[in-house]
Structure 1
Amino acid sequence: MSPLKIVAILLIVAGGIGLAYGSFSFTKETHSAKLGPIELSVKEKETVNIPTWAGLGAIAAGVVLLVIGKK
C-alpha cells in the first residue's frame, strides 16, 4: 500500500471520528505550589470542539487523495 493511500485512509477515519464525537476533553494542571510537606495543585478540565466542516473537509480530502492515487 502506498503512503498516499495510507494518508487518505487516515484522513477519512479521522474525519469520521471527528463527526461522530464532535468534541474531546482533557485535564490540564495549571498551578502548583509546594509549601513544605503540603502540595497544592489546580486542575482544569478543557473541552475542544471539533467543527463539522473540519470533519467533512478531512473526509473529502481523503477521498480526493484516494481518487488521485488510482490515476
Structure 2
Amino acid sequence: MKPIAVLGVLLIAIGVAGLLIANISFTEKTVIVDAGPLKVTADQQRTIPIPSIAGVIAVVVGAGLLFYGRNKASS
C-alpha cells in the first residue's frame, strides 16, 4: 500500500473518531499556593470541544488521498 493511501486511511479513521466523540475531557492539577513546604493544589476539569466540521474535512481529505493514491498506483 502506498504511503499516501495509508495517510488517507488514517485521516478517515481520525475524522470518524472526531465525529463520534464530541469533546475531550481531562483533569489538570494546578498549584494555587506554593509557600515553602506548603503546597495547595486544585484539580480543574478541562474540556476541549471537537468541531464537527473538522471531522468532515478529515474524512473528505482522507477519501481524496485514497482516491489519488489508487489512481496513481494503477497508472
- TM-score normalised by L of structure 1: 0.85
Runs of 4+ in structure 1 displaced over 4 angstroms?
32-38
Compared with structure 1, are the counterparts of its residues 32 and 3 closer, same or farther at alpha carbon in structure 2 (3 Å cutoff)?
A: farther
- My pick for the range that moved more, 11-20 or 26-35, is 26-35
Q: What aligned pairs does 1:24-39 form with structure 2 within 5 A after superposition?
A: 24-31=24-31, 33-34=33-34, 38-39=38-39
Query: Which structure 1 segments of 5+ residues have no match?
Result: none
**Length, aligned pairs only:** 71
List alignment gaps of at least 5 residues for structure 2.
none
- Per the alignment, residue 15 of structure 2 pairs with 15
Sequence identity percentage: 34
Q: Pick the structure with greater CA Rg.
A: 2
